[in-house]
Structure 1
Amino acid sequence: MTAIKVLVTRPVAQAKAMVELLQKQGFQVQHLPCLAIEPVQLISEDGLQSKRLAMELSTFDHVIVISTNAAQHWLDLVQDYWPQWPVGVNWWGMGESTQAMLVAAGIDAGRPATGDTSEALLAHLLPQIRMHDKVLIVRGQGGRQTLSDALTAAGAKVDYAQCYQRKMPQLSALQLLQVDEFAPQAVILQSGETLENFDALLAHKPWCDKHNIVLVLPSMRVADQARALGYSVLLTSSSASNQSMCDTLLQSMLLPIQK
């Protein structure tokens, strides 16, 4: 019996772990990045803002790091100013992998045990917020305002360090040909923006029948996005972590399916 063919769409730097995890579970796997990650220019408005906030790190009560990309680019910047981490700052990582990167850098970072979403973090963090607490959210350019809105409503002062940018990737003709020949049956999409790029880049492909292609998505919010784009076979994970996405695909009993 032929194993299901899975397309991984993570950015280049984050794809290897997911590809290997799926392969260990018996899936056939192809990688095609549907999101490109680039650091912001330090001379840009966001770059200068991040630099200022890095120097002011000790003044914050809480620092929330949204993703592994945010952790990587923020740590590259802030370690130049803080050979030892300031005391009294409470760090939070969104997701197990983000938390692990912070811990590896010597930061005692927490995360909610109830999930890897903004809502789960807020349920854990809001009871700890005092009026006028300073909160720094480290993320890429753009994104949801859920955390900021809720924290501001609770009386906190919120700043953003936007230290990377997400872009549509430039794909070669060879990359596209290899995916066409692979003809995936399921696609791992770990963010809403990745879904949008996938749809723009590949929805016209013969193998991408919106009524048959299986999309594995990280949340109900992204599943709603996919539904609005016309996709109908949707598997919703409990989080965007590699393990959770892989488990969701495994639990769907898809392995016996053949084209």
Structure 2
Amino acid sequence: MNKEVKFTDWGLMDYQEAWAKQETVFNTTVAIKTANRTNNTTLITPNTLVFCEHPHVYTLGKSGVPENLLLDEKGLEEKQATYYKINRGGDITYHGPGQIVGYPILDLDNFFTDIHLYLRTLEEAVILTLKDYGIVAGRYPGYTGVWLDPDNDKARKICAMGVRCSRWVTMHGFAFNVNTNLDYFKNIIPCGIDDKAVASMQQELGYELPMEEVKLKLRTHIAALFGMTLI
């Protein structure tokens, strides 16, 4: 099993461009696995972990309800935001500057073939990162992602998740609100949940976080929990 993972930060990148780049890496990995099965070979499959930020964009997953976007075309233009229907799981979410968007493109045959454990492990990496800053976070029963105060009526989501997995190769991933402008969430019903708020680290702590520092802590936790060697 190959536990080496190439880490790359694409910086601030248009969502559609990042989606296309993801698809290229994903399809290459799936093709290697298909060739191995067809030709009875053992070519090593690569693993990639991408961090980036996006300009204002709303994305709707395969199980999403279009009506959960509360803006029409004119409203999107006024907010300088774009909108895409995409091939991940989950409903609608928002991406924007100040948010760490993570795209692990992993062959889970190199780690473990359990999509639920995969999601829980990503959640745990975010929970541990928040703990580094004194923020207590956890899980909300029945939902993916990371939540603050999940056990009471103040529950609010700080990290959303939606993934695609084919032949145990993953793509898409998570959106972690660090210094995110939360006003943009008012234009959607986030993840289809209309009775819960969203949160950011900046909102909780009262100051802007250094993004590179948070990214370093997060990728360190991801690597440790998956047993990865980042390269």
TM-score (norm 2): 0.26
Looking at secondary structure, tell me which structure has more strand per residue: 2
Looking at secondary structure, tell me which structure has more helix per residue: 1
TM-score (norm 1): 0.24
| Rg larger for | 1
